[in-house]
């Protein structure tokens, strides 16, 4: 008879500990439950080592990430599933950086937890352990889509792979690229961003690869391009779908060989750059119509991250609106009082193409304090006057949605 796999459940919440342990026992596993990390470590001396560990993050005396480090120091091949109700980029990336096999967000479905245990047990390759600085808390959200995004960032940040970030305009593609860089081993090296659609086609080659003095009219001195500026770090190419066809060929060579010539130069430049590209366009369609190279898409799209629009995660609107309003308040005086009405309900009521950018516009157009002494009615109505003549769709509708009832 096959010996059942030994699983440990470590959580200071008695209800979670009991329910998860019972579900795993019903699935045929031998389960030991502990209320704290220290009790689990003490049991390592008396009990056989577990085959899989479920641990909470926030526990008294010793948290789950410290326990993860201790377990990995003794058993580097031990798969550990980290559980937490506090799901953000820093927590998930910290768990994966420490070697966690998976991050399970609370509350979770018991069937999902059992299925995760089944997948984790045969796999003994932990995530690589790399020390990186704490990630900036720019990404915000607690919806299922954002939790999945945080987990993906935690995994991908450690791998030197090209990433293609897709999503509608204003969904935060550059924030994802910065998060990938800041949590990666390249974090101490430069992060360089370039919007390829914002640079005229005739100047984009020089901007990317640099040029030598005299390479063309007006080139009075050598210019170091974005690839050289990002050497050792990360280059973020936004709106990659708008790159001219001639430059796509040059970019393909850099991705394949890691080398290029400056415009008008003869010196071969070698660089080590991780490229993260972003687009709101359907690149497969552009490949079919011949406006984008299929081999370049293959190089860029090693891993793809699809960002959800804000209308698909409306539960995140209040937190985003509060952040944007606080940012707007820094530029205004006096600060809003405690009785100031909140824009989050108005900003989340739209069924139009809401994005993080349009939510920020909404918060910026929400003037809960007067700069001089106009009447309250005029103060509320002013930001919406310009929108009155436009159809109530798209970003132009946001100021009107923010108007005081």
Which has the closest alpha carbon to 176: 186, 166, 187? 166
pLDDT one-digit tens code per residue, 210-232? 998 888 887 888 888 999 999 99
Distance in angstroms (rounded) separating the CA atoms of residues 88 and 90:
6
Q: What separation, in Å, do the N-terminal and C-terminal C-alpha atoms of the chain show? A: 71
Are residues 242 and 199 in contact, defined by beta-carbon separation less than 8 angstroms? no
CA 1 to chain centre: 46
The answer to whether residue 256 scores a pLDDT higher than 60 is yes
Highest CATH level, class, for 160-308: alpha beta
pTM of the model: 0.56
Same CATH fold assignment for domains 6-120 and 160-308: yes
Helix, strand, coil percentages, rounded to 5, for the chain: 40, 15, 45
Backbone angles phi, psi at 33, to 5 degrees: -115, 140
Say if residues 236 and 192 touch (Cβ distance below 8 Å).
yes
- Token code pair at residue 251: 């970019």
Q: What is the pLDDT of residues 86-118, one digit of tens each?
A: 766 665 666 666 667 787 887 788 888 888 888
Confirm if 350 and 402 have CB atoms less than 8 A apart.
Answer: no
Q: What is residue 146's predicted lDDT score, i.e. its pLDDT?
A: 83
Q: DSSP label at 31?
A: E
Domain 6-120 sits in CATH 3.40.50.2300 = yes
**Domain limits, the chain:** 6-120, 160-308, 311-338+348-401
So what's the pLDDT on residue 363?
A: 53
Segment 196-206 shows an average pLDDT of: 87
- Yes or no: say if 90 and 116 are a contact pair by the CB < 8 Å rule: no
* Pairing relationship of beta strands 163-166 and 274-279 according to DSSP bridges: parallel
pLDDT digits (tens, 9 = 90+) for 132-155: 333 334 677 777 888 888 888 888
């Amino acid at each position: 008879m096959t010996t059942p796999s030994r699983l440990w459940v470590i959580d200071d919440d008695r209800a979670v500990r009991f329910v998860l342990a019972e579900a795993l026992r019903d699935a045929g596993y031998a389960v030991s439950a502990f209320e704290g990390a220290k009790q689990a470590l003490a049991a390592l001396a008396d009990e056989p080592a577990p085959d899989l560990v479920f641990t909470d993050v926030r526990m008294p005396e010793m948290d789950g990430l410290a326990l993860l480090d201790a377990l990995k120091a003794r058993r580097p091949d031990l798969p550990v599933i980290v559980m937490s109700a506090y799901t953000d980029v820093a927590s998930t990336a910290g768990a994966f950086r420490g070697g966690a096999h998976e991050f399970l967000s609370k509350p979770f479905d018991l069937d999902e937890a059992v299925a995760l245990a089944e997948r984790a047990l045969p796999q003994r390759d932990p995530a690589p352990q790399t020390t990186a600085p704490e990630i900036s808390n720019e990404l915000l959200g607690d919806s299922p889509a954002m939790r999945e995004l945080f987990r993906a960032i935690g995994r991908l940040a450690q791998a030197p792979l090209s990433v293609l970030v897709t999503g509608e305009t204003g969904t935060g593609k550059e924030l994802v690229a910065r998060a990938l860089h800041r949590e990666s081993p390249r974090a101490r090296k430069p992060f360089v961003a370039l919007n390829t659609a914002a640079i005229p086609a005739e100047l984009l080659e020089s901007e990317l690869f640099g040029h030598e003095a005299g390479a063309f009219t007006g080139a009075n001195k050598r210019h170091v391009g974005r690839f050289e500026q990002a050497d050792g770090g990360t280059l973020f190419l936004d709106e990659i779908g708008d790159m001219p066809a001639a430059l796509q060929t040059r970019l393909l060579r850099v991705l394949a060989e890691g080398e290029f010539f400056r415009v008008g130069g003869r010196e071969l430049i070698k660089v080590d750059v991780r490229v993260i590209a972003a687009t709101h366009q359907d690149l497969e369609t552009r490949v079919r119509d011949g406006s984008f190279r299929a081999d370049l898409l293959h190089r860029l799209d090693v891993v793809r991250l699809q960002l959800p629009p804000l209308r698909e995660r409306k539960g995140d609107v209040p937190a985003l609106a509060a952040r944007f309003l606080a940012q707007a308040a820094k530029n205004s005086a006096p600060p809003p009082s405690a009785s100031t009405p909140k824009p989050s309900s108005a900003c989340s009521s739209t069924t139009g193409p809401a994005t993080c950018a349009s939510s920020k516009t909404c918060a910026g157009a929400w003037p809960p304090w007067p700069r001089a002494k106009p009447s309250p009615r005029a103060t509320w109505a002013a930001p919406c006057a310009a929108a009155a003549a436009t159809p109530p769709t798209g970003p132009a509708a946001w100021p009107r949605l923010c108007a005081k009832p």
